[in-house]
Amino acid sequence: MTTAIKITSLGTSGAGKTCFMLGMYSAMQLGVRGFTFSTPDLDLDLRLTSEWRNLVDTQGDDRWPPPNDKAQTLMFDFNFGFKRIMGFEWYDYRGAALNETTKDEQLGGLLRHLEQSEAVILCLDGNQFAVPLDDSGRTVVGARTGVLRMNQLLQKVRTAGKNPSVIVTITKFDVCSARPAEEIVREIKELLNPLFIQGGKWLVALCPITLGRALSNDRLRGAIDPKNVHLPVTFAIHSVLSNILDEKSKRRESADASARSLRDGFLASWWNRAKIEKFQREAEELRRQIGDIGSNLHLLGTELVQSAYIYYDGVEQ
Amino acid sequence: MTWAPIVHSRTAHLDFRSNFIVSPHDFTDRDLTWAKEYILATTTYPEQLRSGGVRWSIFSCKRYLVAGATCMSRELSEDCVHDQFGRPLFAFVGYVTKWPSTVLPLKHIDAFRPLYEFVRQRFDEQGQRHAEKRVVCGYDRVVEEILVGRSDMDRTINSEPGLLHVFPIELCDKLWVAAAYAQGSSVVLDVSMEPAWLKGPFTNIAVPGVESIQRRTWNKASPEEIAANPYANRETHVPSTSRIPHSDINVQSGQPRVLVDEHPLRRSVSGVVAFFRGAVSEFLRGSSRETKCKDQNMEDRHRSSD
């Protein structure tokens, strides 16, 4: 399987997109249950690894990566047992591009990538959820976290006929860990309510992530101990694999049905034997591929349901 | 001479402005796009600036010449060097003048520090209105300058967008001066051989560890393409390399005589052509020798008959 999908992360400046990407890559270099990330670009691998080491080893201001002023596309591979399952393109950009006019080149690039994406990751800054939200606070947080703009962009994606899975990540979750997670989930569901209505057919996951619980007390010296940073992309890959599985199952059923119809009667069965064999071979190959995908999906699903809140068409799964 | 400022930086609450912190008053949108392509290229791998290095750059077009420094903000100022999230900031600070210019700003960070004042003035701004606001300035800045004169390096500087000349880091100071002479050229100093530099918009780079001047071909975009889509991914093919021998730098024609990368097929065809050319000339030389011999024999015969 050599498909490469596009994943777009949306978040305002300082929401933690770059740190999340660094943490995600680092955690998945070690791997979870046999799943790993890698990159075909060895220079990129070196840069990301060295930036992560800087984050872990350095104490003080210089531990955090400098802000981003340009857009770039990063290529990664998602592997199981070091065998590539799927590639994905990650679009990294300057957070302020989210709030710029369409004449801005970075917003243009972001929109193009977004409209072709199979998964969209919304990065919401956990600092905004450190205290409970009231009605007036919701509008303020909606603007500060970029949710108002994100809603517009998701609307655009739907209008373009795409139906990507959406992963809402609450970055820097360490700063709001004192609050019950269910309460924060409820507030986010209200903020992004169009994604959680019945009939909307959105597949959504909510993942709280942190680079280390100790960072809420001391962001300059607190220990780096990432939690859940691998989940958003794992969910994205899971949803794409599910779609591929569905499509392959339909093709297998169709191949089986074609073979059956050609076998109708002794003469027809003999006359069409070449075609029947072709359909049978195709069905067999699809059955094998479905088996591979199914076992991978099962492993990924086990990992996901333990740590993320998953909704489809407004109903928690 | 007086100069106009151009500054690119994040501030405490607002991200990098699409119209810069400050830019010359006569810059059009097209000029801003042109300058942005080079300025954003100088901030590639900002984490490598943490060790205190400064990336010097010069780039010019038909109308303007920009000379700038890219470094961590703490090299330029003691205050206003972190954003609201505590991240260390970096900045590009540069001077602009009309091309051609007989002087350049001194390649010393002290000459560029005063430009950080523009960042300080806008450091606490908040809100979308300020993010989109364009601040302009005239050509009224006085800076310590050096005179620009002709040198051997003028002919080695590359102005062609599809090519890249890689210089040893030891030639930095000479390049700084030479870049001002070659219209349309662009130079960034003290970088590395990483793909972003080899594929970026700069037509000349100075790199530590390189011993001789090298020419690299790359399917770079034309200036028009860059202006139309500055952020396009222009990854193409692995570059081919050829070295420019030092003896080929100073040539009478005024152009650097560089070795051209050749396709192996073209090389073999040229080999065959050269063989036949050699054979033909050998034949002609031989026949002329033969003619000369015949003439000589005739003369001898005449002499003997006399």
The pLDDT confidence band at residue B252, using thresholds 50, 70 and 90, is: very low
- Note which residues in 11-30 of chain A have CB less than 8 A from chain B: 13-14
Give CA–CA dist A301/A200, Å, rounded: 23
Residue type at A78 in one-letter notation: F
Nearest CB neighbour to A105, from listed B195, B231, B233: B231
Check residue A236 and give its pLDDT: 86
Residue type at B90 in one-letter notation: F
Of A2-11, A23-32, B31-40, B80-89, the one with minimum mean pLDDT is A2-11
Which pTM value belongs to this model? 0.75
Is a pLDDT exceeding 50 seen at residue B272? no
Cα angle A142, A147, A151; round to 5 = 130
Is a pLDDT exceeding 70 seen at residue B172? yes
Taking an 8 Å cut-off on Cβ atoms, the answer to whether B231 and A96 are in contact is no
Half-sphere exposure of A90 (CA within 13 A, CB side): 23
Residue type at B265 in one-letter notation: L
Q: Is A69 in the B-facing interface, judged by CB distances under 8 Å?
A: yes
Nearest residue in chain A measured CA to CA from B17 = A96
Read off φ and ψ for residue B184, nearest 5 degrees: 85, 0
Please say whether the dihedral angle defined by the alpha carbons of residues B279, B283, B286 and B292, taken in this order, is positive or negative: negative
Residues of A in contact with B72 (CB under 8 A): 66
Query: Do B1 and B101 contact (CB within 8 A), yes or no?
Result: yes
Check residue B219 and give its pLDDT: 52
Check residue A31 and give its pLDDT: 84
Of B41-50, B152-161, B206-215, B270-279, the one with minimum mean pLDDT is B270-279
Q: Please give the sequence-ordered ranges of beta strands (E in DSSP) within chain B, or none if there are none.
A: 4-9, 23-24, 55-60, 64-72, 90-98, 103-105, 136-137, 145-147, 163-168, 186-188, 204-207, 214-217, 240-243
Give CA–CA dist A86/B139, Å, rounded: 54
- The interaxial angle of helices A17-30 and A231-262, nearest 10 deg, is 60
Q: Which residues pair with A91 in a beta bridge?
A: A8, A73
Q: Is A222 in the B-facing interface, judged by CB distances under 8 Å?
A: no
Is a pLDDT exceeding 90 seen at residue A269? no
Please give the structure tokens belonging to residue B262: 């050749």
Cα separation values, A275 from A31, A99, A269, A279, A284, Å: 44, 57, 10, 6, 14
Give CA–CA dist B301/A20, Å, rounded: 99
Check residue B248 and give its pLDDT: 37
User: pLDDT: is B253 or A174 the higher one?
Assistant: A174
User: pLDDT: is A162 or B259 the higher one?
Assistant: A162
Check residue A256 and give its pLDDT: 81
**Domains of chain A, CATH where assigned:** 4-240 (3.40.50.300)
Taking an 8 Å cut-off on Cβ atoms, the answer to whether B47 and A71 are in contact is no
Mean predicted confidence (pLDDT) in B85-96:
94
Give CA–CA dist B159/B217, Å, rounded: 13
Check residue A30 and give its pLDDT: 87
The pLDDT confidence band at residue B229, using thresholds 50, 70 and 90, is: very low
* DSSP label of A145: T
pLDDT tens, position by position, B187-219: 999 888 887 888 889 999 999 988 888 888 765
Tokens 């999340």 — which residue?
A20
Check residue A102 and give its pLDDT: 66
Q: Please give the sequence-ordered ranges of beta strands (E in DSSP) within A129-273, or none if there are none.
A: 165-171, 203-208
Read off φ and ψ for residue A7, nearest 5 degrees: -125, 130
Nearest CB neighbour to B86, from listed A13, A61, A104: A61
- Residue B159's nearest CA partner among B222, B116, B114 is B222
Percent of chain A with pLDDT over 90: 11
Residue A262 zone, left/alpha/beta (φ > 0; ψ -120 to 50; rest): alpha
Percent of chain B with pLDDT over 70: 71
Check residue B257 and give its pLDDT: 32
Check residue A103 and give its pLDDT: 65
Residues of B in contact with A106 (CB under 8 A): 18, 231
Residues of A in contact with B195 (CB under 8 A): 43
Check residue B273 and give its pLDDT: 43
The pLDDT confidence band at residue B22, using thresholds 50, 70 and 90, is: very high
* Mean confidence (pLDDT) of chain A: 84
Query: Do B113 and B3 contact (CB within 8 A), yes or no?
Result: no
What are the respective helix, strand and coil percentages of chain B, to the nearest 5? 35, 20, 40
Mean predicted confidence (pLDDT) in B88-96:
96
> Can you tell me the ipTM of this complex?
0.75
Query: Do A252 and A286 contact (CB within 8 A), yes or no?
Result: yes
Residues of B in contact with A51 (CB under 8 A): 47
Mean predicted confidence (pLDDT) in B233-241:
38
Least Cα separation, residue B57 to chain A (angstroms)? 18
User: pLDDT: is B239 or B51 the higher one?
Assistant: B51
Taking an 8 Å cut-off on Cβ atoms, the answer to whether A61 and B14 are in contact is no
Mean predicted confidence (pLDDT) in A89-93:
85
Give CA–CA dist A270/A273, Å, rounded: 5
Cα separation values, B136 from B3, B67, B97, B165, Å: 13, 17, 14, 34
Nearest CB neighbour to A99, from listed B10, B128, B230: B128
Of A93-97, A293-297, B80-84, the one with minimum mean pLDDT is A293-297
Q: Is A61 in the B-facing interface, judged by CB distances under 8 Å?
A: yes
